[in-house]
Structure 1
């Protein structure tokens, strides 16, 4: 292990006497040389990420997907650190931005909660809001960051929020080819056991170049970038939008909605859900948010299995014991012509369609060129040609051109197939199955 002198680097930071190294299955090693980074990793807010899975309900589909936001955050930090090593000495790279990049990379997911996206939908909150609140609030993370100056936490938050004036730094953490994506694609592929998400990251890092407002790729690295784009495309449709994962997410969403509705109706829980009450009431503090992790959520799901409310108890049993909903593909024609009749038949057999009949949409745009004026303007990937001019990737790559700007959308209808095969009201259940099979 490399021995380093304790040397001041800048206000509030020093080099560690001995480099810290994390063994990592994706990047082999993650290197920490800065006291600031080491202290941020040690904060309770960052350690909480050990108790939040990276892929939410995906572990119910791919049993190895138990990795956490903690794993991923360290990985994004490491990819960014390697980018900076490549950028050293290039005209548009300012070494004074090094710690800003590294801290933003490390903390970019600090605001994620348990089963993040389902949780956010139900409680109308946003992990980006909590990321900023944790970085700027009365937290251990903020105390460590302020050692670099009172404005440093705000700069870090602005980079993560993509509003910092230094567009180069922002693009390293968040763009169509960034440290975040390069880590999660490989990490998620590794832990799910699939082959789709692998690409030659080392090659991409070697051909990355910093410009004033973005990271660009030397044209000699175009084929490695094509591979990266296709890896992302495959991961979304084979892993992230897997129908079994979506079924589990649908049930999770309905559990949280049912618990919230019961609380607002004055239902007397056998065990008061104290951790959820601030979210049911709509006024959680940072302290409330940081107390919630997936261990806490699972605890309540176990207790809710024993609730007298049949819907909440059933949904919790389904989630905990993997008795998931079945699904069918559907079209807009189906919604227009069959939806209302299907809901009425569900009510007729005593099944609440608000909790047991769910329309779900999945969509992804694997790569896009620049579309000025759109709500989310995506900076395209640019190739640095031999004459020093920039060419947008899809102008040079037929593979990328074929999928560029094309959003793919998936429509599925989820329902409890097991209920439709139980004794009683067979005629109505047969009608439901006929509708679903068309």
Structure 2
């Protein structure tokens, strides 16, 4: 069995959410100081939410340290209740620390256009030619693979997987508290101390004492509110739409052989769709913002306009959209084209949806691990069977559709055409 390799003295990070993040293991300290993990300082946790909540500038580095700290505290509460070897504990801590290491700049917007998933890059960073891989291999040649399996939810120990990926886990608990703190809202706050006190190791995952059910309810409702009030805020979504259109336009121009004033060297592998790990790791949000500053002076009017909109926060306006109104989008596309406004870049339906809580139903595509309560008798009961609050929202997916467009361009059109578009959109002149 591997022996603990501890630092000479404990290292601490002052943290606004958890007060302190404590590090005793040399392996964890070295992972934090790796180039790949330090890159997360240059990737925002909340993407474009800083346009809506000006305090939301925190990074995935902040969040990853927070998830690690919650995992460390969970493992402390499990002492005496279950035996985990030092290697298994370190496996949990490494998975918590590294779960987001594969995120790219403006994460999901970038992913959609260039067709990759950050989890694939997380796996590549853990198992490829990286500092992180070499550090992890100190615990054994297969240790990087095991960490990757925990993050990918394919590891054979379901308890360990549930600590980092379930409906109430270290990752979710940190991002709700942290995002609420930095955005200045109260929605994401819940009693984490109580949650940790009533959490127990189960055979197939974490479970919770029945006496702590109301703290779990509070957590679920906090998550629900954060998604609809913060993560899906329409201004944030507008910024994401503009950002996607920038990437889309840059890619289209590149494929057409457009002569950029300065070749976007660091983006060429993505535009060519031939991305190596080193290419991916060279990219962060400062790189993207640099190219936007260049592109706002390009000869292409669309790319120039979109970049200026993003940098200056001149975002698209929106109206509620009914997907059953089959003619609306077609009519608007025709009107936009007649106004010489390219609908491919200036008219976008954006859809969001969330399922606050659900449990596994046989025959369904996606299994959702239920939250189980330990009753005083020792029997396990699924949460919604005892909670009327959770029962009311269980399995109910909420959808929201919005149509985004540049109001300033519409208002600049001749009155007759502008009026037709505004009438079809259902917006007035001062919208």
Looking at structure 2, the residues matched to 352 and 174 of structure 1 have their Cα atoms a distance apart, in angstroms, of: 42
RMSD (Å), alpha carbons = 1.1
1:219 aligns with 2:210: yes
Instruction: Indicate which of 407, 414, 424 corresponds to 1:425.
Output: 414
More divergent stretch after superposition (134-143 vs 90-99): 90-99
Deviations 1:21-68 (A, max 9, x none): 000000000000000000000000000000000000000000000000
Count of residues paired in the alignment: 427
Looking at structure 1, the residues matched to 234 and 290 of structure 2 have their Cα atoms a distance apart, in angstroms, of: 26
1:10 aligns with 2:15: no
Query: Counterpart in 2 of 1:22?
Result: 13
Query: Counterpart in 2 of 1:206?
Result: 197
Query: Counterpart in 1 of 2:350?
Result: 360
1:80 aligns with 2:71: yes
1:343 aligns with 2:356: no
How does the TM-score come out when normalised to structure 1?
0.96
Query: Counterpart in 2 of 1:436?
Result: 425
Query: Counterpart in 2 of 1:3?
Result: none
Question: Cα offset for 1:10?
Answer: 2.6
SS at match of 2:5: strand
Checking the alignment, whether the CA contact within 8 Å between 2:6 and 2:24 is kept in structure 1 is yes
Looking at structure 1, the residues matched to 328 and 134 of structure 2 have their Cα atoms a distance apart, in angstroms, of: 57
Looking at structure 2, the residues matched to 91 and 25 of structure 1 have their Cα atoms a distance apart, in angstroms, of: 31
Looking at structure 2, the residues matched to 375 and 73 of structure 1 have their Cα atoms a distance apart, in angstroms, of: 29
Query: Counterpart in 2 of 1:45?
Result: 36
Looking at structure 2, the residues matched to 358 and 408 of structure 1 have their Cα atoms a distance apart, in angstroms, of: 20
Checking the alignment, whether the CA contact within 8 Å between 1:325 and 1:416 is kept in structure 2 is yes
Looking at structure 2, the residues matched to 363 and 222 of structure 1 have their Cα atoms a distance apart, in angstroms, of: 26
Deviations 1:365-421 (A, max 9, x none): 010011233332010100011111110000000001111100000000000001111
Checking the alignment, whether the CA contact within 8 Å between 1:92 and 1:211 is kept in structure 2 is no
Question: Cα offset for 1:238?
Answer: 0.1
Question: Cα offset for 1:211?
Answer: 1.3
* Uncovered stretches (5+) of structure 1, i.e. residues with no partner: 1-8
Instruction: Indicate which of 232, 236, 247 corresponds to 2:227.
Output: 236
Looking at structure 1, the residues matched to 315 and 56 of structure 2 have their Cα atoms a distance apart, in angstroms, of: 18
Question: Cα offset for 1:96?
Answer: 4.2
Question: Cα offset for 1:287?
Answer: 0.2
Looking at structure 2, the residues matched to 376 and 52 of structure 1 have their Cα atoms a distance apart, in angstroms, of: 29
Deviations 1:308-335 (A, max 9, x none): 000000000000000000000011232x
- In the TM superposition, 1:150-165 aligns within 5 A as 150-165=141-156
Looking at structure 2, the residues matched to 414 and 100 of structure 1 have their Cα atoms a distance apart, in angstroms, of: 44
How does the TM-score come out when normalised to structure 2?
0.98
SS at match of 1:276: helix
- In the TM superposition, 1:282-301 aligns within 5 A as 282-301=273-292
* Uncovered stretches (5+) of structure 2, i.e. residues with no partner: none
Query: Counterpart in 2 of 1:67?
Result: 58
1:405 aligns with 2:357: no
Checking the alignment, whether the CA contact within 8 Å between 1:90 and 1:210 is kept in structure 2 is yes
Checking the alignment, whether the CA contact within 8 Å between 2:155 and 2:161 is kept in structure 1 is yes
- In the TM superposition, 1:18-417 aligns within 5 A as 18-91=9-82, 93-94=84-85, 96-334=87-325, 336-417=326-407
